[in-house]
Every structure is written in C-alpha cells, then in structure tokens.
Amino acid sequence: MQLINQMRLEFLSIPANVAFARVTVAAFASQLDFTLADLEEIKVAVSEAVGNAIIHGYEHVPDRFVKVYAALTLDTLEMRVEDDGKGIEDIEKALQPAFSTDAERLGLGFVFMQSFMENFRVESTMGRGTTVIMSKSTGNSMARASEVT
C-alpha cells in the first residue's frame, strides 16, 4: 500500500507527555477520513501504549525516552510505540484482561488497544524494551484512492 506520510516522535518518559503523544498522533491521523469516534479510539490506544511504556517499561523513571512512529497509507494509520525499558517477562499473561502489576490499575491497557485498533501485536525482550505495533483503517480506501488518482 502506498505510503503517503510518516512521522516520528521522541519524548521524555513523563506522564505529561501521554496527552502530547495522543493529541499529536490523532492530529496526524486526521489527514485520513477517520470519524471523530475513530480518532477518540486512536487517542485511547496511544495513551495506553505510552502510559505502559512510562509505568511498566521505565517504571516511572522520568529521564528515558518513549518513541512513537506513525505512517499513513491511503486508508490506514500504522503505528509503533517503543521503549528501551525492562521488557515484559510473559507477554501472553500481560495481555490478559485485569492483569496488572499495580493494585490501582485496571490491567485493561492492552484490552483497549486490542479493542480499538487492528493488527495489534507486542514484541518485547527482557532488559531491552517493548514495542507495541497496531493499525487502524478508515474503511474508505476506494473513495480516497479515487480522489488521489
């Protein structure tokens, strides 16, 4: 599929940057014909992925960096959220609803990402970090393709 735009963000692992990341990715994604509801879902997915990197990947250490890559094809946002943190020991377990290492968290971050996005997957190596990969399509590829050609 033809790539029409790409972006890269790198920011400190502090909670204030969760909002920065989600608003930036949603603004980038709005170049496609996403509905407002779609953009809200993208915002939740970005918040969860970046929040996980800060809380679990870097365990709240504030001077590390979270990286977000996003690309647009004619009808799809593809994105990747990366940290170089401690990694996930058991990805399958981490993907279970209500699994959380923190008593006051819901353990639903991955559930939201899986529910709101497509082609969701997690890659992680202990001591090296975690990458969350996900995408979302507008379902309007024909309309957009005809506009472009």
Partner 1 sequence: MLLDIEMKKDTLFVRPNGELDLGVADRFRRALDETIEKGKAKNLIVNLTKVSFVDSSGLGVLLGRYNRVSKNGGKVFIVAPQPQVRKVLDLSGLLRIMNEYPNENEALEKIG
- Active-site residue numbers? 48, 52, 105
By beta-carbon proximity to partner 1, the closer residue of 74 and 117 is: 117
Question: 105 is written with which tokens?
Answer: 């968290």
Closest alpha carbon to 8 in 65, 66, 69, 53: 69
Q: Which of 104, 127, 146, 149 binds partner 1 (CB under 8 A)?
A: 104
Q: Which of 37, 93, 127, 149 binds partner 1 (CB under 8 A)?
A: 37
Q: Which of 54, 68, 74, 77 binds partner 1 (CB under 8 A)?
A: 54
Longest alpha-carbon distance in the chain: 53
Calculated CA dihedral for residues 27, 69, 17, 84, nearest 10 degrees: 170
Residue 43 interacts with partner 1 (CB under 8 A): yes or no: yes
Closest alpha carbon to 44 in 120, 126, 115, 145: 115
Residue 130 interacts with partner 1 (CB under 8 A): yes or no: no
Contact residues for partner 1, defined by CB under 8 A: 15-19, 22, 37, 40-41, 43-44, 47-48, 51, 54-55, 102, 104-109, 111-112, 115
